[in-house]
Amino acid sequence: MGIVEKIKEIEAEMARTQKNKATEYHLGQLKAKIAKLRTQLLEPPKGTSGAGDGFEVTKYGHGRVALIGFPSVGKSTLLTLLTGTHSEAASYEFTTLTCIPGIIHYNDTKIQLLDLPGIIEGASEGKGRGRQVIAVSKSSDIVLMVLDASKSEGHRQILTRELEAVGLRLNKRPPQIYFKKKKTGGISFNSTAQLTHVDEKLCYQILHEYKIHNAEILFREDATVDDLIDVIEGNRKYMKCIYVYNKIDVVGIDDVDRLARQPNSIVISCNLKLNLDRLLAKMWDEMGLVRVYTKPQGQQPDYTDPCVLSSDRGGCTVEAFCNHIHRNLVKQIKYVLVWGTSAKHNPQTCGLSHILEDEDVVQVVKNKDKQGEGRGRFKSHTTGPARISDRVKKVPLKT
């Protein structure tokens, strides 16, 4: 029996099992088994080389956005409208067969937009090159899930389920659970909050399913069984997702209003070019990019080429800004002057831990180079030889 058949068999058993206090331990073990099998499903087969058959493209720009959706929902048309890059669009499904990148120039930044082939139900099991599509989306900073406004809401649930099956968690934050394996000492179970979904016995059973008998675990919130399994697996990625409903020109105004009021959703029409500016603004807000301008001493700030920072790529502190310019700049820094919304007064003298905000102006003051110079008018070293025997003897005076 293959891995896919085992997963379907366990899912069928979970569907048959009633959910109550007596069966929650059995359901927890079944969930742990499914998570282990899905992790094995994502691993490359043994005996193969490291290179896969994906269509990864080189990272470019200050951020990366992936377009995910069913076939023929308007992903290629959206890429063409936003970036100007031509992506073939036609009235039949699976027009796009590979990854097509484009660049969005927005607010003095460059954002890479990836047009991926449409995925279908069962993509997490490898149907329709689904694994390659999801692998590329894992390397992006944010996901745009393009949906057809005229279709049912089931498409959104199917796509979310397929992405969660391969370890992607959309619009969720990592659970506040501390987990660490140990060599000896057994399992130490503690919690700082009242737990309603997990107890000590269920936690022990899940850890024994993973053959973990020595570990330290601490719950800082009322987490569920799925959150505990995600922490034990350790390969989950938490990403932001915007649900983009295309083709609003073919549905009624009541449906458009209902879709637009859903959280993390935006409605557009690629055919009539409606609401594309709101989509770019929403995407900019979710990515959280911070533009920082430099100011040389005694000169005006340079507003032409900002340094773009992100909390997902190194952070938005002064130290991250200095590392963005040069990796040795942090060792030479004396203090930093900051103008902008993050400063309490303009300018504010800040240290390396100060968090910068969008459109701040930064001036870096470096330590003076004292190498080769002493204090005052006396040198701290000599250029002569160290030993007396190596000194050049003076020519004797003529008598």
Mind listing the pLDDT tens digit for each residue in 304-334? Answer: 888 999 888 888 999 999 998 888 888 888 8
Supply the DSSP string of 173-217, one letter for each residue: ----EEEEE-SSS-EEEEESS--SS--HHHHHHHHHHTT--SEEE
- 339 shares a domain with 203: no
> Is the pLDDT assigned to residue 40 strictly greater than 60?
yes
- 131 shares a domain with 98: yes
Residue 17's pLDDT is 84
> 114 — alpha (psi -120 to 50), left (phi > 0) or beta?
beta
- 270 shares a domain with 149: yes
What is the rounded distance in angstroms from the CA atom of residue 366 to the CA atom of residue 146? 48
> Is the pLDDT assigned to residue 53 strictly greater than 60?
no
Does 51 map to a domain? no
Does 52 map to a domain? no
- 181 shares a domain with 161: no
- 164 shares a domain with 267: yes
What is the rounded distance in angstroms from the CA atom of residue 46 to the CA atom of residue 44? 6
Does 263 map to a domain? yes
Looking at residue 89, which CATH number applies to its domain?
3.40.50.300
- 119 shares a domain with 225: no
| The domain boundary residue, chosen from 216, 233, 250 | 233
Work out how many domains the chain is built from and give that number. Answer: 3
What is the rounded distance in angstroms from the CA atom of residue 303 to the CA atom of residue 291? 10
What is the rounded distance in angstroms from the CA atom of residue 122 to the CA atom of residue 72? 18
- 137 shares a domain with 161: yes
Encode 67-83: b = buried (16+ Cβ within 10 Å), e = exposed: bbbbebbbbbbbbbebb
What is the rounded distance in angstroms from the CA atom of residue 246 to the CA atom of residue 147? 6
Does 54 map to a domain? no
Does 327 map to a domain? yes
| The domain boundary residue, chosen from 264, 287, 310 | 287
| The domain boundary residue, chosen from 209, 233, 257 | 233
pTM of this structure: 0.77
Among the residue ranges 44-48, 161-165, 264-268, 371-375, the one predicted with the least confidence is 371-375
Residue 155's pLDDT is 85
What is the rounded distance in angstroms from the CA atom of residue 304 to the CA atom of residue 294? 10
> 24-42 and 225-233 are packed helices; what angle lies between their axes, rounded to 10 degrees?
30
- 342 shares a domain with 264: no
Does 56 map to a domain? no
- 168 shares a domain with 72: yes
Does 246 map to a domain? yes
- 293 shares a domain with 273: no
Give the torsion sign (CA, 68, 73, 75, 78): negative
Per DSSP, the three-state class of 372 is: coil
Supply the DSSP string of 251-276, one letter for each residue: S-HHHHHHHHTSTTEEE-BTTTTBSH
Residue 80's pLDDT is 87
Residue partners of 49: CB distance under 8 A and separation at least 6: none
- 241 shares a domain with 111: yes
Domain limits for position 242: 63-172+237-287
Q: How confident is the model at residue 339 (pLDDT cuts 50, 70, 90)?
A: very high
Residue partners of 258: CB distance under 8 A and separation at least 6: none
Residue 372's pLDDT is 47
Q: Parallel, antiparallel, or unpaired: how do β-strands 215-219 and 187-191 relate? A: parallel
Neighbouring-strand partners of residue 189: 217
Residue 280's pLDDT is 92
Does 49 map to a domain? no
Residues in the chain: 399
Nearest in space to 179 (alpha carbons), one of 192, 168, 169, 189: 189
> Is the pLDDT assigned to residue 361 strictly greater than 90?
yes
Encode 222-247: b = buried (16+ Cβ within 10 Å), e = exposed: ebebebbbbbbeeebeebbbbbbbbb
What is the rounded distance in angstroms from the CA atom of residue 362 to the CA atom of residue 354? 11
What is the rounded distance in angstroms from the CA atom of residue 8 to the CA atom of residue 31? 12
- 229 shares a domain with 89: no
Looking at residue 305, which CATH number applies to its domain?
3.10.20.30
